[in-house]
Amino acid sequence: MRGAGWDRLDVHRASRVVTVVLAALSLLLVGLVPAEAAAPRGTGTFTDREVDLQVTVSMADVVVGPSPRVARMWFTFDHPRERLSLDGDGTSVVSAQGPGSSSLGAVYLVKTSERRAYADFVMSAEDRPGTYVAIVELRTTVDGQPYQIVRENAVSFQVRRATQASATAKRSGGKAVVTGQVTRWQDVEYRTALARRPVAEATVRLSFDPQGKAGARYVTTVRTDSDGRFRKVLRDRGKGRWSASYRGSAKQAPSWARPTGAKEPAVDHRFTRSRTTDGTKVTMKVRTRDVVVKGSSTKTRVDVEWSASGPGRLDHRTTDVCVESRLGSYEGSCSEVRKDGANKVYAHLYLGPDEPAGIYDVEVWADPEVRTSSGTSLTYFPTSWTGSFRVSKATRTNVRVSDASVRKGERVAVSGTLRKPSQLDRWNLGGWRGAAGEKVKFYFDPKGSRGPVFKGTDTVGADGRFRRSFVVRASGTWIVKYPGSPVAHLRPSKAKVAVTAR
């Protein structure tokens, strides 16, 4: 989906950031906002003396994981004015800048009362770990006079990736061989998917919980190797359970910390938004459709319908429909609209193997205005986050056996590959890549039986391959099933191969 539309979306985002920064600098020059050396951590307060408005911004540190989740920033407004009104519903915004050029983009504030509001950032392990700083752009009205207040470094917070520490033990004489691994969630495949990756040189605490005792007891500390694995030979302590814990770092969360925030917002295939201007109610309806991507680009359609109720005549001036993946703010595309009636337009969007699977949010580029006998009024109509749809990817399962005709009681190897559409290199070449880390299930359907019987599972390797060996006791069919993944947004698939027992 990259190309001219993708570049246009980048320019659109960049212009918003530049506008916020320039506005902040202008306010600094006239003395409305005092400069600060660093953003306050967790909770920050600033005051605009011209309108006697004090703003408190609160944002807790964030732990990101495999599924996008909502991290909420809170705003509290304290002012003595009786006629001060904070504008919401698509006017006041906040953005967050992270390490390097990373950004969480700009999101609207949502009012819960005249003195409280919040902004929700949808975040996942694709977002760069490190310190993020908020830039707040508030629009207020005092005694009928509009004001714009921009504050850089309003508050800072830390983003860390979720980790997992595992441990298993085997007895060997009077010893216990404890092994395990520490992994973190990270963006992979040229930032189009998320997967677990090892945490190298990590300090791990090993503890033992004796059977029938309350709580685990610390035993020793080990360090992981370059693959995030560890191995330690210790005295056997009898029945019980070994556990590993990792305290985390500036970029990695402790192994016991869970991803932050509420669940990811649900898909909204039919979205409606209204705004009243000069007695005329303007309504926009957006309809989207889910997409299943296979080996080539797949087309989806977004419909936009406008209507007006009142004395004014509506000119919606819709030009483009843009989409952005929740798996990272860098992904997006725009497409020009086509007419489908007086106040109806639609746009076709193309998604290919090199795009992330997951949920995409829609933005409609429009500048609606209402014309009445007294003149023309532009209506500020929030056209971002106007619906969403899901992009899933098909999978291919292939299977074979080491020998199609074997003696009863002999073993046969059942192997194959599981692949998915994906970006293959940094030049956006799309194709089929091994679905590393996914699990497949093995079933055997004996000839003449009533159905297949479950025999085991295997984890797909980095090259997309899987393999298990089984004893053959009858002729029949081996079936390998991949059940799909709601986290990776992968569709199920299966394959089968016959075996003859002599």
Is residue 459 domain-shared with residue 480, that is, in the same domain? yes
Q: What is the pLDDT of residues 209-224, one digit of tens each?
A: 997 777 889 999 999 9
Q: Within a domain: residue 256?
A: no
Is residue 280 domain-shared with residue 237, that is, in the same domain? no
Q: Within a domain: residue 255?
A: no
Is residue 155 domain-shared with residue 207, that is, in the same domain? no
Is residue 309 domain-shared with residue 405, that is, in the same domain? no
Q: What is the mean pLDDT of the chain?
A: 87
Classify residue 290 by its DSSP letter: -
Q: Which residue has the higher pLDDT, 141 or 153?
A: 153
* Domain CATH code at residue 175: 2.60.40
Can you give the pLDDT at residue 448?
A: 84
Instruction: Please state the separation of Cα 109 from the chain's center in Å.
Output: 20
Is residue 429 domain-shared with residue 484, that is, in the same domain? yes
Is residue 275 domain-shared with residue 144, that is, in the same domain? no
Instruction: Please state the separation of Cα 33 from the chain's center in Å.
Output: 34
Can you give the pLDDT at residue 326?
A: 87
Which of 348, 377, 393 terminates a domain? The answer is 393
Q: Within a domain: residue 8?
A: yes
Is residue 312 domain-shared with residue 413, that is, in the same domain? no
* Domain CATH code at residue 104: 2.60.40.1930
Nearest to 80 by CA among 143, 156, 123: 143
Q: Hey, what amino acid is at 121?
A: F
Which of 218, 246, 274 terminates a domain? The answer is 246
Burial of 438 (0-12, 13-18, 19+ CB in 10 A): buried
Element (H, E) at 23: helix 4-30
Is residue 101 domain-shared with residue 3, that is, in the same domain? yes
Q: Within a domain: residue 259?
A: no
Is residue 155 domain-shared with residue 6, that is, in the same domain? yes
Q: What is the pLDDT of residues 387-439, one digit of tens each?
A: 999 999 999 999 999 999 999 999 999 999 999 999 888 887 888 999 999 99
Asked if 124 contacts 327 with a C-beta cutoff of 8 angstroms, the reply is: yes
Is residue 276 domain-shared with residue 242, that is, in the same domain? no
Classify residue 41 by its DSSP letter: B
Can you give the pLDDT at residue 84?
A: 66
Q: What is the pLDDT of residues 464-490, one digit of tens each?
A: 999 999 999 999 999 999 999 998 999
Is residue 6 domain-shared with residue 46, that is, in the same domain? yes
Q: Within a domain: residue 257?
A: no
Q: Which residue has the higher pLDDT, 24 or 465?
A: 465
Tell me which residue range forms the domain holding 183.
163-246
The winner for highest mean pLDDT among 6-15, 222-231, 368-377 is 222-231
By DSSP bridging, strand 62-64 and strand 156-161 are: parallel
Asked if 405 contacts 475 with a C-beta cutoff of 8 angstroms, the reply is: no
Q: Which residues contact 356 (CB under 8 A, 6 or more apart)?
A: 191, 192, 193, 325, 327, 328, 331, 391
Which of 101, 131, 159 terminates a domain? The answer is 159
Predicted TM-score of the model (pTM): 0.83
Can you give the pLDDT at residue 83?
A: 66
Q: Within a domain: residue 252?
A: no
Q: Is a pLDDT exceeding 50 seen at residue 14? A: no
Q: Which residues contact 314 (CB under 8 A, 6 or more apart)?
A: 280, 282, 306, 307, 308, 343, 368, 369, 370, 371
Give me the percent of the chain exceeding a pLDDT of 90. Answer: 63
Q: Within a domain: residue 282?
A: yes
The number of distinct structural domains making up the chain is 4
Can you give the pLDDT at residue 223?
A: 97
Can you give the pLDDT at residue 32?
A: 39
Structure tokens at 347: 């746009």
One-character DSSP codes across 333-369: EEEE-EE-SSSEEEEEEEE-TTSPPEEEEEEEEE--E
Is residue 151 domain-shared with residue 7, that is, in the same domain? yes
Mean per-residue pLDDT, 14-43: 50
